Amino acid sequence: MIPFLSLKDITAKYSDEIHEAVSRVVDSGWYLQGKENERFEQHYADFIGTKYCIGCANGLDALIWIYRAYVELGIMQPGDEVIVPANTYIASVLAITENGLKAVLVEPNPDTLELDDEKIEAAITKRTKSILLVHLYGRCAMTQKIAALCEKYDLKLVEDNAQAHGCRAPQPPKGGDTTLVGTSKIGVNLADPILYPLLKDFANQNRHNPTEAEEVLWNLLSHRKSKSPLRDLGASSDLWASSDLGASSDYKFRRQHIIDQYIADFACLEQKLIIEIDGKYHNLKGQAEEDAIRTRVIENYGFRVIRFTNEQVLFDTENTLKAIYDACNSPFRGLGGRTGSLGHAAGHSFYPGKNLGAFGDAGAVTTNDKELADCIRALANYGSQKKYVFKYCGRNSRLDEIQAAVLDVKLRHLEEDNALRQKVAAYYYEHINNPLLRLPKRLPDEQNVYHLFPIIVSPFRGQWGRDELHDYLEAKGIQTIIHYPIPPHLQECYQQDIKEGNIVVPSSGLPITERLANEELSLPISQVLTLDDYKAVVEALNAFGK
Ligand SMILES: *Cc1c(COP(=O)(O)O)cnc(C)c1O
């Protein structure tokens, strides 16, 4: 018998450490809002790469609190719209509708099964305030295009990271994979190794012969400790005084910085931001395409590129600086971070079957937004920030100390466990070979922690289909599960909301989502599945229909 997921075996793997942690809490006499929560929240925030982590009762609550806080803070109003993938677990949609917001359903990409970024813009209206991006099945759904849309339409990007703990956004394709991860290791060496000596000479020459605009901007950006006007502006100007990043964040710019085969005019490695100043020759024919290629290569290293003309720098200096400041403070500081740190806030579920699972219900919110974090911490604790004083009408949605202690143990092993899942997935990709089955397409820079391993079984001459495969495997002792047999928009609970327009289904319907519900089947995958197990799964699959 090959179980879909053996929680018993998963727990047994770290049994001693877990028992030690649970006993510690039991013996401590302190069961809520104590040291275990504090420690786990700190470790999880560090792991995800955000400033704040707030533990709460479960993953659904985590998502509900994020949107409730946006409503409480006046950033969203009831009736505002949130874009969400139509193919997701219903919790994602509930978090929106629970708060009186409208869920606008968008189809997945049939190859990756993640939210189709090509279909988002058509769903954006004046009332769209947010995208709820679900990293479904453990795969990162974030793209540069989604980041660009959020910036263009000023949308809050909220991640549903219930299925992708430990996953990262796509890595740069070459050069510096670890150099772009985390600010401490950033920028070690992104240059093309062969061209580097030549580029270095060029960069030095350019530094000694700046254009007028480069000189002006360098005087404004150069990082002479506290003297950078950008820093001063951030700290003192009315415009920026409200941001706590203004005074403290690191705006260390370098000029003539080499990336791949290019020399960027200005680079802030900490912010993953490139500033290019376009001279006259940028209007020449062919230059636009050259610039586009250059931008794409630089973006592939996880940077964002913003451009200014000479005139903007020289004659509209204040707005140029403001644009740079805004770019520095945008949450989309390039790709390469972990899911859960890629947008404005993220909800995480630690339901026992998730990659990071507790011994019951548990969840958390991660964010860099202090105001949002404070509000959520209050909401999840009866709306209270001070004992017996209630700022909001909250609920009791706390993470208990035993769960926090268990999660802290399991977090230490998450990366090694995810690597084992990836090993199983690699075997499936290499060895499953049956024309009746389709695996999600892998992209070169895809990142996936394989919470689930979905395959697609298209009906074959009306005889062989997903349900037949499920029964066939069951008969061989192999357990599989469908994720999900009925999509949210076809659930009974939502029929009235659809009629009333609280849930928006595109006029063309959701055929891809509905087809997935009929054709998806998830294979066994976990950190405790043995080679014999997954070999047997592959053998059975390859013999199916023959
Ligand atoms: C599990 C899950 C949730 C909800 O988490 P709970 O802890 O069960 O409330 C939310 N979204 C997705 C995509 C999930 O898979």
In a domain, 25, yes or no: no
In terms of residue numbers, what domain contains 294? 187-328
The pLDDT of residue 233 is above 80 = no
Which residues line the pocket of ligand 1, CB cutoff 6 A?
A: 58-60, 88-89, 91-92, 134, 160, 162-163, 349, 351, 361, 363
426 C-alpha vs ligand 1 centroid, how far in Å?
25
Q: What is the pLDDT of residue 333?
A: 52
Whole-angstrom distance, CA of residue 201 vs CA of residue 197: 7
DSSP 459-511: -BTTTB-HHHHHHHHHHTTB--B-S-SS-GGGSGGGHHHHHHTSEE--TT--H
Does residue 479 lie within any of the structural domains? yes
Query: For ligand 1, atom 13, which residue shows the shortest CA distance?
Result: 89
Question: DSSP letters along 325-388, please?
Answer: HHHHHSS---S-SBTTSSSSEEEEE--TTSSS--SS--EEEEES-HHHHHHHHHHTBTTEEETT
CA distance 484 to 507: 22
Question: Does 237 share its domain with 369?
Answer: no
> In a mutational test of the pocket of ligand 1, which residue from 5, 351, 449 has the highest number of ligand atoms less than 8 Å from its CB?
351
Question: How crowded is residue 249: how many other Cβ atoms within 10 Å of its Cβ?
Answer: 17
CA of 445 to the centre of ligand 1 (A): 26
pLDDT score of 273: 85
CATH of the domain at 349: 3.40.640.10
User: What was the pLDDT predicted at 329?
Assistant: 67
Tokens 């519900």 belong to residue: 517
Average pLDDT over residues 280-299: 74
The per-residue pLDDT for 228 is 55
Task: Locate the ligand 1 atom nearest the alpha carbon of residue 134 and give its number.
Answer: 13
- Here the CATH number for the domain that contains residue 222 is 3.40.960.10
Residues 440 and 506 in one domain: yes
Q: Which range has the worst mean pLDDT, 36-45, 89-98, 260-269, 274-283? A: 274-283
406 shares its domain with 419: no
Indicate the residue among 361, 377, 412 that finishes a domain.
Answer: 412
Higher pLDDT, residue 262 or 172: 262
Based on the fold, state whether residues 224 and 153 are members of the same structural domain. no
Residue 542: the pLDDT is 97
Q: How confident is the model over 126-166, as pLDDT tens digits?
A: 999 999 999 999 999 998 789 889 988 999 999 999 999 99
DSSP letter at 296 equals H
Residues making up the chain, counted from first to last: 546
DSSP letter, residue 302: T
Kindly state whether residues 147 and 192 are assigned to the same domain. no
Q: What single-letter DSSP state applies at residue 168?
A: B
| Ligand 1 center–CA 379 separation, angstroms | 19
pLDDT tens profile 36-77: 999 999 999 989 988 999 999 999 999 999 999 999 999 999
- 4 found inside a domain: no
Give residue 121's pLDDT: 96
pLDDT of residue 272: 77
Residue 381, Cβ neighbours under 10 Å: how many? 21
| Claim to verify: residue 311 and residue 294 sit in the same structural domain | yes
Which domain-ending residue is among 387, 412, 437? 412
Minimal-distance CA residue to ligand 1 atom 14: 162
Residue 265 Cα to ligand 1 middle (Å) = 44
Ligand 1 centroid – CA 28 distance (Å): 31
Nearest to 428 by CA among 524, 320, 304, 297: 524
CA 261/CA 323 separation, integer angstroms: 27
Contact 339, 161 (CB under 8 A): yes
- What residue owns the CA closest to ligand 1's atom 5? 59
For the CA of 349, the closest atom of ligand 1 is: 7
Domain assignment present for residue 11? The answer is no
Nearest protein CA to atom 10 of ligand 1, as residue: 91
Ligand 1 centre to CA of 135 (Å) is 11
Please classify residue 508 by burial: count the beta carbons closer than 10 Å to its beta carbon, then call 0-12 exposed, 13-18 middle and 19+ buried.
Answer: exposed
> Is 339 among the domain residues?
yes
Domain identity same for 354 and 257: no
Give the residue whose CA is nearest to atom 6 of ligand 1: 59
DSSP 8-state secondary structure symbol assigned to residue 195 = T
pLDDT digits (tens, 9 = 90+) for 493-545: 999 999 999 999 999 999 999 999 999 999 999 999 999 999 999 999 999 98
Mutation test residue for ligand 1: of 56, 58, 60, the one with most atoms within 8 Å of CB = 60
- In this structure, the answer to whether residues 481 and 504 fall within a common structural domain is yes
- DSSP letter (8 states) at residue 281: G
* Ligand 1: centre distance to CA 363 (Å): 9
Per-residue pLDDT, 172: 46
**Model pLDDT, residue 247:** 34
Round to whole Å and give the CA distance between 186 and 277.
23
In degrees and rounded to multiples of 5, residue 309 shows phi and psi of -85, 165
Index of the ligand 1 atom closest to the CA of residue 91: 10
The tally of domains found in the chain comes to 3
Counting residues of the chain whose pLDDT is more than 70, the rounded percentage is 88
Residue nearest to atom 2 of ligand 1 (CA): 162
**Top-confidence range, 56-65, 217-226, 302-311:** 56-65
Give yes or no for a contact between 59 and 165, defined as CB atoms under 8 angstroms apart: no
Rounded Cα–Cα distance for residues 57 and 429 (Å): 36
Contact 217, 275 (CB under 8 A): yes
| Mean pLDDT across 254-283 | 84
Cα 138 to ligand 1 centroid, rounded to whole Å: 12
Q: Which of 65-74, 242-251, 287-296, 522-531 has the lowest mean pLDDT?
A: 242-251
Ranges 248-252, 349-353, 403-407: which has the least confidence: 248-252
Q: How high is the mean pLDDT of the chain?
A: 88
Question: Quick one: 384 and 426 in the same domain?
Answer: no
515 vs 278: which has the higher pLDDT: 515
308: helix, strand or coil:
strand
In the block, which residue shows the tokens 């973006």? 299
Q: Which residues does residue 364 pair with via DSSP β-bridges, in sequence order? A: 55, 348
Residue 318 has pLDDT above 60, yes or no: yes
User: Does residue 199 share a domain with residue 324?
Assistant: yes
- Protein residue whose Cα sits closest to atom 7 of ligand 1: 59
Please determine, for residue 25, whether its predicted confidence score (pLDDT) is greater than 70. yes
User: Which residues are paired to 54 by β-bridges?
Assistant: 365
Burial 120-141 (b: 16+ CB within 10 A, else e): beebbeeebbbbbbbbbbbbbb
Probe ligand 1: pick from 64, 92, 348, max atoms within 8 Å of CB?
A: 92
Do 204 and 145 share a structural domain?
no
Tally the C-alpha atoms within 13 A of residue 116's C-alpha that lie toward its C-beta: 16
Range scoring the smallest mean pLDDT among 128-132, 136-140, 309-313, 482-486: 309-313
Q: How confident is the model at residue 356 (pLDDT cuts 50, 70, 90)?
A: very high
DSSP, residue by residue, 7-47: HHHHHHHTHHHHHHHHHHHHHHT--BSSHHHHHHHHHHHHH
Atom of ligand 1 nearest to the CA of 63: 10
**At which of 412, 431, 448 does a domain end?**
412
Report how far apart the first and last C-alpha atoms of the chain are (Å, whole number).
22
Which numbered atom of ligand 1 lies nearest the CA of 451? 15
Closest atom, ligand 1, to C-alpha of 60: 9
Q: What angle do CA 423, 426, 432 make, to 5 degrees?
A: 130
pLDDT tens for residues 185-216? 233 357 777 888 888 898 999 999 999 999 98
Q: Is the distance from CB of 115 to CB of 157 less than 8 angstroms?
A: no
3-class secondary structure, 107: coil
- State the CATH number of the domain containing residue 458: 3.90.1150.10
Tokens describing residue 35: 């040291």
Whole-model pTM: value is 0.77
Q: In whole angstroms, what is the distance from residue 245 CA to residue 231 CA?
A: 9
> Per the domain annotation, does 425 fall within a domain?
yes
pLDDT on residue 370: 95
Q: What is the mean pLDDT of residues 215-238?
A: 61
> Residue 327: pLDDT above 90?
no
Distance CA 112, CA 439 (A): 9
- Verify that 396 and 301 share a domain, yes or no: no
Q: What are phi and psi of 61, to 5 degrees?
A: -60, -45
Among 66, 98, 160, the mutation site with the greatest number of ligand 1 atoms within 8 A of its Cβ is 160
The ligand 1 atom nearest the CA atom of 62: 9
Lowest-pLDDT range of 242-246, 451-455, 492-496: 242-246
Distance from Cα 165 to the centre of ligand 1, integer Å: 12
Q: How far is the CA of 365 from the centre of ligand 1 (A)?
A: 13
Q: How much is the CA Rg of the chain, to the nearest whole Å? A: 25
CA 91 to centroid of ligand 1, rounded, Å: 6
Output the pLDDT for position 449: 96
Helix (H, G, I), strand (E, B) or coil at 138: helix
pLDDT for position 249:
46
For the stretch 73-96, pLDDT in tens is 999 999 999 999 999 999 999 999
